[in-house]
Amino acid sequence: MATDDRTASPLELPDAAAAPDGARPAQKAVTIGAVCKALVQEFPDISISKIRYLEDQKLLAPRRTQGGYRLYTQADVQRLRTILRLQRDEFLPLRVIRQELAGGRAEREAVASQAGTTAEARTPRRAATVIWRDPGAVYTLEEVVEETGADARLVAELVEYGVIRGQNRSGRAYFDETEREIVRAVAELARYGVGGRNLRVFRSSADREAQLLQSILAPALRSRNPERRKEAIETLENLASVTTHLKHLLLINDLRKIAT
């Protein structure tokens, strides 16, 4: 008989930050419902289906009971926190998040949490990883709609207004992972009545910023010296991170004026 994670009795989630100095936090396993309840204050849009989706993408691997329940340890929960923060704060696509996790990002953040510091104190904020020749996986319109929950008409509107561009292969539209994540973000905005035509300002702003950064680094990016190009790409990522954070701060500043 199939079991439903939603019906499992929620357990209190152990808090790593609350462990006394020098003591290891309890590794009590909790259900997916308890994890969702424990993280909802920090991540209001978290849901059981979203956690399951991350598991489907091989980013999480909770153990299962014989009855089929997912059980999450403190390490699993810290890994989930890291994934959600990278999505929310650094806007990283899942492919890049997977690389961050493979590099020990979740473990470093756990150590920082116990030490009372923040991840930003040790890990530079990045907007995205710049990939020049490998755009990663591509997805059909149907796959994008299924994975993001967006309406197909919204995706078509985003293409029409140049928010995403996609690529045509044998008469069929395909989108890369970054464009898929853009659709996911816009689908959230669509719940508040924001459509593709309203997002042209974001596209125009991104184009202007890209042109500015290109003008700064164009000679190095065109260099035939592999080392110089590598340094230029790293600089480009750092500059993109700084501009992203600056836009965030300016937006917060303006929103505070609106709210007062």
- pLDDT over threshold 80, residue 18: no
Give the model confidence (pLDDT) of 48-107 as tens digits. 888 998 988 889 999 988 888 889 999 999 999 999 998 888 777 787 788 888 888 888
Long-range contacts of 6-11 (CB under 8 A, 24+ apart): 6/33, 6/48, 8/32, 8/33, 8/34, 8/69, 10/34, 10/37
H or E element, residue 174: strand 172-176
Q: Are 161 and 195 in contact (CB under 8 A)?
A: no
pLDDT computed for residue 115 by the predictor:
63
Using the Cα atoms of residue 105, residue 111, residue 113 and residue 117 in order, give the sign of their dihedral: negative
Output the average pLDDT for the chain. 78
pLDDT at 84: 92
Reported as a single tens digit per residue, the pLDDT across 222-247 is: 888 888 888 888 788 778 877 877 87
Task: Give me the architecture of the 138-259 domain, per CATH.
Answer: Orthogonal Bundle (1.10)
How many CB atoms lie under 10 A from the CB of residue 83? 23
- pTM, rounded to two decimals: 0.48
C-alpha to C-alpha distance for 164 and 177, rounded to whole angstroms: 11
CA angle 230, 234, 86 (to 5 degrees): 135
Give which of 74, 79, 73 is closest to 104, Cα–Cα.
79
Rg (CA), the chain: 21
Least confident range of 14-18, 30-34, 97-101: 14-18
Supply the pLDDT for residue 249.
78
Longest dimension (CA), the chain: 64
pLDDT tens, position by position, 113-169? 666 654 444 444 444 444 444 456 788 999 999 888 899 999 999 998 888 988 888
Q: Identify which of 247, 214, 210, 237 has the alpha carbon closest to the alpha carbon of residue 129.
A: 237
Kindly report the CATH number that applies to the domain delimited by 5-88. 1.10.1660.10
CATH 1.10.1660.10 domain extents, the chain? 5-88, 138-259
